[in-house]
A and B are shown apart, each in its own frame.
Chain A
Amino acid sequence: MEFAAPEIAGQAIPGQFVMIGLGLPGEPGLFLPRPMSIAQAEGERLGLLIRIFGAGSRRLTALEVGERALLLGPLGSFFDLGSATRVLCVAGGVGLAPFLFLPRWAERHAPGNRVHLVYGERTASAVFDPGRIHELAGVEPEIWTEDGAMGRMGRVTDRLDVARVDLVLGCGPVPMLKTLQAQIAGTGVPAQFSVEERMGCGVGTCVGCVVAVEDGGRGWRYERICVEGPVFSAERLRWSI
């Protein structure tokens, strides 16, 4: 879905998110705003990839042209490409969102990158149109489906080769990210994951969205996904304790 949101679109960096809702008084099923990763930012237009999970996302996707939503952003941390030139993006499900934005953004802001996008879904019917992915992201996705009805059969993590990449970026369900984290551990390839959680405020006040991360040498601590995240260095993530 696209929204006219020039201020957000003008500042957005891949990995960041917005809080989107209908404002007050809210509607049944959509009172709190929802965090959504920024999937496109072109000129005044902000693109979000919204998958229907419950009443809130159903209401958001039912918004019609001319209707208004309340957007707050861009929020949170972002993917840091650093000096990487060969970037592997691993997307599970709606975790595709930031990688629809990242390749073209990287072209503009850090030219010389080669981005390879691996994208998996449970079923072929859930796959976001590959032609559209190419159009938006400018890269040809390598698609995996668990039912094998489109692309390669299995999971994105089944045949992952990180030997010739400088940086791995991941966004998707926690089990996928955990597998990815285990595969990358020890290879010396740095990785950054965008993680999600139910949020209240989106700006750090309510401390509602936390994830356990390594705390230097002192064990672990909770950090707020909305402020310290949503993008974390993969090796720091301890998930829940």
Chain B
Amino acid sequence: MVDLGQTVLGVEFQNPILLASGCCGYGEEYAGLIALDELGGLVTKAVTREPRIGNPPPRVSETPAGMINAIGLANVGLERFRREKLPWLRENLRRAYVLVNVAGWTVEDFVHVVRGLDDAEGFLAYELDASCPNVERGAEFATDEALLGQLVRSVRAATQRPIVVKLSPQVPDIGRFAEICETEGADGVSTINTFPGLLIDVERRRPIIGNVTGGISGPAIRPMGVYATWCAARRVRIPVIGIGGISGAADALEYMLAGAPLVQIGTALFVDPEVVCQTLEGLRAYGERHGVHRLADLVGALEA
């Protein structure tokens, strides 16, 4: 037997596989297709202070080995999330942990959402979306050292729950940003959010995406995600959660070897929801093949 468990953020995750924010809604939408409680956990769609209708369509399109999206943080808002979505997660996810992704435009926005949720049940931690590329100034927090420090410090003062900060790949030295998160009291960082991109319909000479630009995800960005994870993990002691283009066990293992005890699967869910089961099976098979009894032993075990 291979033990897939990971002790992170003060709890034991039954395995390292989480579903990424924005790719699994509020859980409920995938309940008929994915055995959610078999997961390590999931990260909800971003929750903002007020409901948001999001960007004009088209919002998604295929790109080489991936996709572009500009949803624009469409979400039900703090109040409805707490009233309608969180109870479902609390009832249906008993072993898998829930991280609530929080987005905002000011430090006060983030603090407001965190305070508004903090005494509710049904989730473990926050993932602060400091890096959404699809709304104006969305990635500002994760590309400005002083702002990021202020954000983490303020949210830290507002909650005892673990805080994970989702970082942008759009910085010259992501390790520096991970260090700031650690210094200011974050419990983890997740790397990476999507890369900004632009897809053009040359026949019409127009952008394909309604928002003009979007975020690129999928296998195309995996090597950059692994790199960012490796850079961040070498600089901080807090856990780094790997994200970007994971489509199976080998991809997840790349992130783990680079230093991530947990990983998130996103875009690949759209291609085949069974990717989750296949990844878990693949991780067990890898452990057996390599005589690794505890998958946790592989975290950061890259020989370079």
Contact = CB atoms under 8 A, between A and B. Distances in A.
Interface of A: 21, 23-26, 28-33, 56, 70, 72, 197-211, 221-222, 227, 240-241
A interface, by DSSP: helix, strand, loop or mixed? loop
B223 interface: no
A204 B25 contact: yes
Contacts of A23: 271-272
Contacts of B64: 28
A209 B271 contact: no
Interface of B: 22-25, 29-30, 33, 45, 53-54, 56-67, 69, 71, 74, 208, 210, 218-219, 247-248, 267-273, 275, 278
6 contacts: A26-B219, A198-B59, A198-B60, A203-B30, A206-B71, A240-B57
Given A198-B61, A208-B60, A241-B56, A31 B74 contact: no
A25 B219 contact: yes
Q: Which of A25, A29, A198 has the most CB of B within 10 A?
A: A198
Contacts of B22: 206
Contacts of A205: 23-25, 29-30, 45, 269
A184 to B, nearest CB: 24
Q: Please provide the 9 A-B residue pairs with the shortest distance between their CB atoms, ordered closest to farther.
A: A208-B60, A205-B25, A205-B29, A200-B60, A201-B270, A204-B29, A208-B59, A23-B272, A198-B58
Contacts, number: 109
A31 B71 CA distance: 19
Given A24-B275, A31-B66, A222-B53, A207 B74 contact: yes
B270 A197 contact: no
A200 to B, nearest CB: 4
Contacts of A202: 270
B271 A21 contact: yes
B27 to A, nearest CB: 9
Given A204-B25, A206-B69, A24 B248 contact: yes
Nearest to B74: A207
Given A24-B275, A203-B30, A206-B22, A222 B74 contact: yes
Contacts of A203: 29-30, 33
B33 A209 contact: no
A31 B248 contact: no
B275 A210 contact: no
Contact of B59 (A28, A207, A227): A207
A15 to B, nearest CB: 20
B39 to A, nearest CB: 14
A209 B74 CA distance: 12
B99 to A, nearest CB: 16
Q: Which of A30, A200, A204 has the most CB of B within 10 A?
A: A200
B247 A210 contact: no
A222 to B, nearest CB: 5
Contact of A32 (B58, B74, B271): B271
A210 B23 contact: no
A208 B71 contact: yes
A210 B60 CA distance: 10
Nearest to A208: B60
Nearest to A241: B56
A23 B271 CA distance: 5
B193 to A, nearest CB: 15
B138 to A, nearest CB: 16
Given A23-B272, A33-B270, A208 B56 contact: no
B153 to A, nearest CB: 32
A24 B71 contact: no
Nearest to A23: B272
A240 B29 CA distance: 25
A25 B250 CA distance: 12
